[in-house]
Amino acid sequence: MVSVILDTNIILDYLSATREQHSEAVDLLEQLLESETYEPVILAGSIKDAYYILCRHFGARREQLVRDRLDTFRQVVTTAELTNEVLDRAFASDEADVEDGIVRATAELRSAAAIVTRDREAYARSTVPSMTAREFLQRML
């Protein structure tokens, strides 16, 4: 199967029904999970980032809900490890943001089909194309 890297903002869109791009993220994940060609991949670091952001969004009293949703989500996708090879590439890349460099390095090392994100400009110089969830659904599935 070919990896499709899901940026943190796609995870947030999927897990929070109040986000503007929620329905596209849900459609994307459903299609990816049914696909025999593509494998949805998230970064290990994205889990902690999503947890922090969602706890701030929903409030501390909903922390267990956030934990449960993230745990369920990570069990249906593949989680890419943060390795020294990924970090070496990320720090050597021309990405302005280290986190974006990590996403890009992971995608390139896995020869991913795409990086699905709402921040397409962040990966403009990547050898792996970046696109929105809607674009991926229209072009690839």
> Which fold is adopted by the domain 2-139?
Rossmann fold (3.40.50)
- Among the listed residues 31, 34, 38, the one whose alpha carbon sits nearest the alpha carbon of residue 1: 38
Cβ count near 34 (within 10 Å): 9
pTM above 0.85, yes or no: yes
Q: Give the start-to-end residue ranges of the domains of the chain.
A: 2-139
Which of the four pLDDT bands, split at 50, 70 and 90, describes residue 141? Answer: confident
Which of 119, 16, 124, 108 is closest to 70 using CA atoms? 16
| DSSP tag of 61 | G
% pLDDT > 70, the chain: 100
Q: State the average pLDDT over residues 125-132.
A: 96
Cα(93)–Cα(74) distance, rounded to whole angstroms? 27
- What is the mean pLDDT of the segment spanning 83-101? 95
